[in-house]
């Protein structure tokens, strides 16, 4: 029996499903999850000592690869100074200043410990600032596991959502309206019906939780207009895209396509923590003043702005601002997805790919889907065979077809070539 199997059996005795976050259990693809012992650059190593080229990167944070020397030094230094004080530190100001410098739509930012906390707090802030309760989210977008966000569409635009998780009271879901991604007519109708009751609309600008689906530019433009017209706040969930698709994040990308575009509230996570528990949400001063201790919207955290996590995040943000960083990362990611598309074509496999900065998605279908229902039409069996074939070849892709992939600065040409060789073998 492999050491991964031994550990998985042991884990299942003491941890539900053997994992601390469901997707790690490999339920979608079957088989035994790999228990990771260490990471180094672009690689992770499992309990059997097998090496994998890592395209998950802790689901996004590890943009520099594992164990980057500058980050390691910053974290080690911070840990020696103290793990947590529950009192303010200068490093929190430094990280806030660094983030604000890179995100012109925000004037202030609050640090928290997870993306879930950040989106939950952003929704509360939007509700507190507008005095309204209802909000819109989109099918296929994931914003963490707070009750009001674990909601699927009701039976029509007049009815609000239903919980997607046991334990979420129907009453909580009743304020969440779930719409189809990129469906303009539906959006117009929803605003016509409920516009004046909406506190906000929350969206993943490039949805990485249904693999990789961009918000169409015209759709984003109209969404911005509708929010402004109706006094609803536009919340961009950049937990995944933030500092991953480019230094200006997805909002900078859309601002380059839609003059004057900016969200009202932004949410960040993953890269800003560099692999440590850290996330953030921010907005204009006028909106952020509603937050405690200034205003009536309560929000807090024992470990918020943690000194070790902020050191990790700061060091990471400084590295990604070095000249040419995103040009190089973008070129690597492009080489990977174009290479994969080429290999698929050689083998007559239906395939489509998209990428932005260091984030990518591929679909075993001819055209890129524009919304969730089409994403879900992917041939799951074929995806699972591809996933396991690649894993056997030492290539670690996300163990579910609705997850995005990530390239890090540590991936070399040799790693990319190994990946394409593996894909050639598996797709054959
Ligand atoms: N928002 C988005 C877009 C995410 O991708 C995720 C997690 O993957 C979250 C929020 C939740 O973040 P966390 O897992 O840190 O709670």
The pLDDT score that the predictor gives to residue 59 is 97
- Find out whether 242 and 60 touch, Cβ atoms under 8 Å: no
Atom of ligand 1 at shortest range from CA of 204: 3
Residue 30, SS3 per DSSP? coil
Range(s) within the chain of domains with CATH label 3.40.640.10:
69-320
- Find out whether 283 and 84 touch, Cβ atoms under 8 Å: no
Question: Ligand 1 atom 7: the closest Cα is on which residue?
Answer: 144
The pLDDT score that the predictor gives to residue 270 is 98
Q: Which residue has the tokens 């609803």?
A: 232
User: Bridge partners of 314?
Assistant: none
The pLDDT score that the predictor gives to residue 148 is 96
Is the peptide bond prior to 411 cis by the omega test (within 30 degrees of 0)?
no
113 lines ligand 1 (CB under 6 A): no
245 lines ligand 1 (CB under 6 A): no
The pLDDT score that the predictor gives to residue 158 is 78
pTM of the model: 0.97
41 lines ligand 1 (CB under 6 A): no
Neighbours of 144 (CB within 10 A): 18
Atom of ligand 1 at shortest range from CA of 209: 5
Of 221, 216, 211, 217, residue with least CA distance to 374? 211
The pLDDT score that the predictor gives to residue 159 is 80
- Find out whether 139 and 178 touch, Cβ atoms under 8 Å: yes
Residue 142 known to be catalytic:
yes
- Fill in the DSSP letter of residue 15: S
Block mean pLDDT (10 aa), the chain, length 428: 97 98 94 97 98 98 98 98 98 98 98 98 98 97 96 85 94 95 98 98 97 98 98 98 98 98 98 98 98 98 98 98 98 98 96 97 95 92 96 96 96 98 96
Residue 192 CA to ligand 1 centre (angstroms) = 30
Catalytic residue, candidates 54, 237, 264, 415: 237
Computed over its alpha carbons, how large is the radius of gyration of the chain? 21
The ipTM of this complex is 0.99
Residue 239 CA to ligand 1 centre (angstroms) = 6
Q: Say which CATH topology domain 69-320 has.
A: 3.40.640
Residues in the chain: 428
Class of the CATH-defined domain 339-400+423-428: alpha beta
116 lines ligand 1 (CB under 6 A): yes
Of 19, 61, 36, residue with least CA distance to 274? 61
Each residue's pLDDT tens digit, 238-254: 999 999 999 999 999 99
Of 263, 305, 260, 261, residue with least CA distance to 284? 263
Give CA–CA dist 280/230, Å, rounded.
26
115 lines ligand 1 (CB under 6 A): yes
Alpha-carbon dihedral sign for residues 166, 167, 171, 173: negative
Range(s) within the chain of domains with CATH label 3.90.1150.10:
339-400+423-428
- Find out whether 90 and 310 touch, Cβ atoms under 8 Å: no
Residue 117 CA to ligand 1 centre (angstroms) = 9
Residue 142 CA to ligand 1 centre (angstroms) = 7
Neighbour-count burial for 360-373, b at 16+ CB within 10 Å, e otherwise = bbbbbeeebbbbbe
Of 259, 258, 212, 202, residue with least CA distance to 234? 202
- Find out whether 115 and 145 touch, Cβ atoms under 8 Å: no
- Find out whether 61 and 273 touch, Cβ atoms under 8 Å: yes
- Angle CA(230)–CA(232)–CA(238) in degrees, nearest 5? 140
Neighbours of 37 (CB within 10 A): 13
């Amino acid at each position: 029996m492999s050491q991964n199997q031994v550990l998985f059996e042991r884990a299942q005795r003491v941890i539900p499903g053997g994992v601390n976050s469901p997707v790690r259990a490999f339920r979608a693809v079957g088989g035994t999850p790999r228990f990771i012992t260490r990471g180094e650059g672009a690689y992770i190593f499992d309990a059997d000592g097998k090496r994998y080229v890592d395209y998950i990167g802790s689901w996004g944070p590890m943009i520099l690869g594992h164990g980057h020397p500058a980050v390691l030094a910053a974290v080690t230094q911070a840990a020696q100074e103290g793990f947590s004080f529950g009192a303010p530190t200068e490093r929190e100001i430094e990280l806030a200043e660094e983030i604000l410098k890179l995100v012109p739509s925000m004037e202030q930012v609050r640090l928290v410990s997870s993306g879930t906390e950040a989106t939950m707090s952003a929704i509360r802030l939007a509700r507190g600032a507008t005095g309204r309760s209802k909000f819109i989210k989109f099918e296929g977008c994931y914003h963490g596991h707070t009750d009001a966000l674990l909601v699927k569409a009701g039976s029509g635009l007049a009815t609000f959502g239903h919980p997607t998780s046991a334990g979420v009271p129907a009453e909580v879901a009743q304020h969440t309206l779930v719409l189809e991604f990129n469906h303009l007519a539906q959006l117009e109708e929803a605003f016509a019906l409920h516009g004046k009751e909406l506190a906000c609309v929350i969206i993943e600008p490039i949805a990485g939780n249904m693999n990789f689906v961009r918000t169409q530019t015209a759709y984003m433009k109209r969404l911005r207009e509708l929010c402004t017209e109706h006094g609803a706040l536009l919340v961009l969930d950049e937990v995944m895209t933030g500092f991953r698709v480019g230094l200006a994040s997805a909002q900078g990308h859309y601002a380059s396509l839609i003059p004057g575009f900016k969200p009202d509230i932004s949410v960040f996570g993953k890269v800003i923590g560099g692999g440590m528990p850290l996330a953030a949400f921010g907005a204009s001063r006028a909106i952020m003043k509603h937050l405690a201790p200034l205003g009536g919207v309560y929000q807090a955290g024992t470990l918020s702005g943690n000194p070790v996590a902020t050191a990790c995040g700061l060091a990471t943000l400084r590295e990604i601002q070095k000249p040419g960083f995103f040009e190089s990362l973008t070129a690597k990611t492009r080489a990977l997805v174009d290479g994969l598309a080429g290999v698929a074509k050689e083998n007559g496999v239906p395939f489509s790919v998209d990428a932005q900065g260091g984030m990518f998605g591929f679909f075993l279908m001819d055209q890129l889907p524009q919304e969730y229902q089409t994403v879900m039409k992917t041939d799951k069996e074929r995806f699972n065979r591809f996933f396991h074939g690649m894993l056997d070849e030492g290539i670690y892709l996300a163990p579910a077809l609705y997850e995005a992939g990530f390239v890090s600065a540590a991936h070399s040409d040799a790693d990319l070539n190994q990946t394409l060789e593996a894909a050639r073998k598996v797709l054959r």
